[in-house]
Amino acid sequence: MLDLLKLRKRHGRPVIKDLRRAEVKAPFRGFPLLREGACPDGCDQCLRACPTGALSIRPLRLDLGACLFCGDCETACPAGMVRSTPAHRLGASKRETLRIGPGETAASFAAKAIGSRREIRRLFGRSLKLRQVSAAGCNGCEMELGACGNVNFDMGRFGVDFVASPRHADGLVLTGPISRNMSPALKDAYRSLGTPRVVVAAGACAIHGGLFAESVDLDRSFLAETPIDLFVPGCPPHPLTFIRAVLDFLGR
């Protein structure tokens, strides 16, 4: 009963009061650190362990947009060249920024990853309504995006909400690898948005295709035809990862 009364007292208040200072603890796998130096001669165990081809060696590089953050490369590498950290700020304005190399830290990545444009701050800084389109997603990203609005994270306190129709939205959040069946509906949703509009690609499937990148049943022409304003890696992205990326993009 006492716990129930405490819960009732907190009702209507976000559990996480300051999202900008919130941290995610291990075993959450966030920003990976790549050790400087050469890999052992002839070793390619991390490449064979990676299910999406996110890693390359000689030189060592990792594509956060393709990474599932499964940790298999870290486990497979005998030299400890890859080490996961719980740093959750993974969003970026440009696709190429997601390709990281040795010596790059979570702090140095976060400092340069997202640029806030003046026009975006002026138009959407106080209110941004988003329409989420699942283009053959598995529901993992969709559930985490839904969690952004719950009492723990309460993204709505910043004026950022998901809406039911693209006609009422300022931007589109894409999840899933984009199947042939969903490609026309995705393009219709984009065309239904007003202008100017924002497009966010959330999750490894949306950014890279993820485990389904080689499937012949995908139609990812939308990404070639449409400018993407924000990339949010993860499989799925943590709610804090998504919210921090959007707030940084809005200059909040």
Contact status, residue 219 vs residue 180, Cβ threshold 8 Å: yes
Percent of the chain with pLDDT over 70: 98
- Give the pLDDT confidence score for residue 15 in this predicted structure: 81
Element containing residue 47 per DSSP (H, E):
helix 45-49
Please report which confidence band the pLDDT of residue 143 belongs to, taking 50, 70 and 90 as the band edges: very high
Higher pLDDT, 8 or 71: 71
Q: What is the pLDDT of residue 111?
A: 92
Q: Residue 136: is its pLDDT beyond 80?
A: yes
pLDDT at 42 over 90: no
pLDDT tens per residue, range 183-216: 999 999 999 998 889 999 999 999 999 999 999 9
Q: Which two tokens stand for residue 189?
A: 């949703």
**Higher pLDDT, residue 187 or 37:** 187
8 Å CB contact between 96 and 137: no
Q: Do the beta carbons of residue 90 and residue 26 sit within 8 Å?
A: no
pLDDT tens-digit series, residues 72-123: 999 999 989 999 999 999 999 999 999 999 999 999 999 999 987 888 889 9
Average pLDDT, the chain: 92
| Residue 11 scores a pLDDT above 70 | no
pLDDT of residue 10: 65
CA distances from 44 to 31, 78, 85 (A): 21, 10, 22
215-228 pLDDT tens trace: 999 999 999 999 99
Confidence of residue 1 (pLDDT cuts 50, 70, 90): confident
Report whether pLDDT(6) > 80: no
